[in-house]
């Protein structure tokens, strides 16, 4: 069979993730200092695991309603009312002057379905550069174009940077705060200005808030409806639900990345279309995991976030001895610059790190530039300290 002629152009246009390449190299190392994995290293709360196990042993293993089980929908509805002041009650489809919500197979699933629902060949979506690795490829899968917004050196996707990129073909502006790979948090004013730009140009703002609860003390500058301090979000602006699609998840906050659980909320007409796409693709989010996530929403993860903030402080303190690094206000990443004096790209620097049994990701996996690298501090304190020793040593020009 001539297999080559069968492969679609959309697949050919997508290169393998640079992150996966580093993982493959890392598999050959013995006990590496692994600062590459963007996955929480804390255990899932026991009650959350127990809830999922009870669902499995209780024969709750079949399909659920496309929108999610009523118990989880009720909890998310209450959360969005308390946080954003949004009313997402009622069925996904229908009428009513309020937003709608849909439980999805992870935030990536939610984004994929949103793109499929909104983008046609020739359309454009504006994404930050650096970006989460999936963003440009999701557009490619839809035959659309991802227009990259240069956010260097502070990694903030401001209205001033986005405005010149909007054209008649722009349908979506996609923002992520706290961001991956940088951990940088946009301020309330920056978020509101971006929303107002999108409103004025009739463009949907998609707010990827996978790290919304993974926000450090100095970044919790907004109060939600209930008075709790939160990470800034454009979705808290009055009437934002008409112009913002919020994408949130459970994987990072509760350590259940493999469960593939998330949700979208926003304009009812758009969520209705996303639900249709889900019905004929994922069908529904994983049933036992939905029951586990009902329990997850009762968990207090603030102690975990404080521990990660302490790790963040260590990372920034060590790296600023030798290079520039924007302060990560949330998530568990830092995105330091490879010192120009070394005269090498980030990819070449990563190769030197691998020779020293240390894994990080070159910036080229997330960006059109290859000047920075992403490190994750979601690892043991021992591995983190050993890895930082290697990075600082190499950035000083030692052992090259």
What pLDDT, in 10s, does the model give residues 221-251?
999 988 999 999 999 999 999 999 999 999 9
pLDDT at 157 over 90: yes
The span from the CA of 102 to the CA of 92, in Å, is: 7
The span from the CA of 357 to the CA of 34, in Å, is: 8
**Average pLDDT score over residue span 327-350:** 97
Reported as a single tens digit per residue, the pLDDT across 375-392 is 999 999 999 999 999 999
| 278, burial (CB in 10 Å: exposed 0-12, middle 13-18, buried 19+) | buried
Tell me the percentage of the chain whose pLDDT exceeds 70.
96
The span from the CA of 36 to the CA of 377, in Å, is: 8
Distances from the Cα of 77 to the Cαs of 98, 354, 365, in angstroms? 12, 46, 36
pLDDT of residue 399: 54
Cβ-contact 110, 86 below 8 angstroms: no
Domains of the chain: 3-44+302-395 (3.90.1150.10), 61-296 (3.40.640.10)
pLDDT at 60 over 70: yes
Reported as a single tens digit per residue, the pLDDT across 345-359 is 999 999 999 999 999
SS3 184: coil
**Average pLDDT score over residue span 9-30:** 74
Question: Cβ–Cβ contacts within 10 Å for residue 226, how many?
Answer: 11
* pTM of the predicted model as reported, rounded to 2 decimal places: 0.94
Cβ-contact 101, 319 below 8 angstroms: no
Query: What token pair was written down for 108?
Result: 């990536």
Query: What token pair was written down for 94?
Result: 């229908």
pLDDT band at 96 (very low <50, low <70, confident <90, very high): low
End-to-end CA distance of the chain: 48
pLDDT of residue 372: 98
Reported as a single tens digit per residue, the pLDDT across 287-315 is 999 999 999 999 999 999 999 999 999 99
């Amino acid at each position: 069979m001539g297999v080559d002629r069968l492969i679609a152009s959309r697949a050919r246009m997508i290169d393998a993730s640079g992150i996966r390449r580093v993982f493959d190299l890392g598999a050959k190392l013995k006990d590496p200092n692994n600062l590459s994995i963007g996955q929480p290293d804390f255990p899932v709360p026991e009650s959350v695991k127990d809830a999922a196990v009870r669902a499995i042993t209780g024969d709750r293993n079949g399909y659920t309603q496309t929108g999610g089980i009523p118990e989880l929908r009720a909890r998310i509805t209450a959360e969005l009312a308390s946080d954003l002041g949004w009313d997402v009650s009622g069925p996904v489809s229908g009428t009513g002057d309020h937003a709608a919500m849909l439980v999805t197979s992870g935030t990536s699933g939610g984004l994929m379905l949103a793109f499929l629902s909104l983008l046609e060949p020739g359309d454009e979506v504006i994404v930050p550069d650096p970006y989460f690795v999936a963003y440009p490829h999701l557009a490619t899968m839809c035959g659309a174009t991802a227009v990259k917004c240069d956010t260097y050196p502070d990694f903030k996707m401001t209205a001033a940077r986005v405005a010149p990129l909007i054209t008649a073909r722009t349908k979506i502006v996609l923002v992520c705060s706290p961001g991956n790979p940088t951990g940088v948090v946009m301020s309330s004013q920056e978020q509101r200005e971006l929303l107002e730009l999108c409103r004025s140009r009739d463009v949907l703002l998609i707010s990827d808030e996978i790290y919304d609860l993974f926000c450090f003390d100095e970044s919790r500058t907004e109060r939600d409806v209930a008075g709790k301090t939160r990470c800034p979000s454009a979705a808290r602006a009055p009437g934002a639900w008409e112009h913002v699609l919020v994408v949130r998840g459970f994987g990072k906050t509760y350590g259940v990345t493999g469960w593939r659980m998330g949700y979208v909320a926003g304009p009812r007409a758009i969520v209705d279309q996303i639900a249709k796409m889900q019905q004929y693709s994922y069908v529904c989010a994983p049933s036992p995991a939905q029951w586990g996530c009902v329990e997850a929403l009762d968990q207090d993860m603030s102690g975990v976030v404080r521990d990660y903030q302490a790790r963040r402080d260590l990372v920034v303190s060590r790296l600023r001895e030798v290079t520039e690094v924007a302060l990560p206000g949330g998530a568990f990443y830092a995105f330091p610059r490879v010192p120009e004096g070394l005269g090498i790209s980030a990819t070449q620097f990563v190769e030197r790190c691998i020779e020293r049994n240390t894994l990080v990701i070159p910036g080229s996996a997330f960006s059109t530039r290859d000047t920075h690298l992403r490190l994750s501090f979601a690892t043991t304190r021992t591995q983190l300290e050993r890895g930082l020793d290697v990075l600082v040593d190499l950035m000083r020009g030692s052992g090259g």
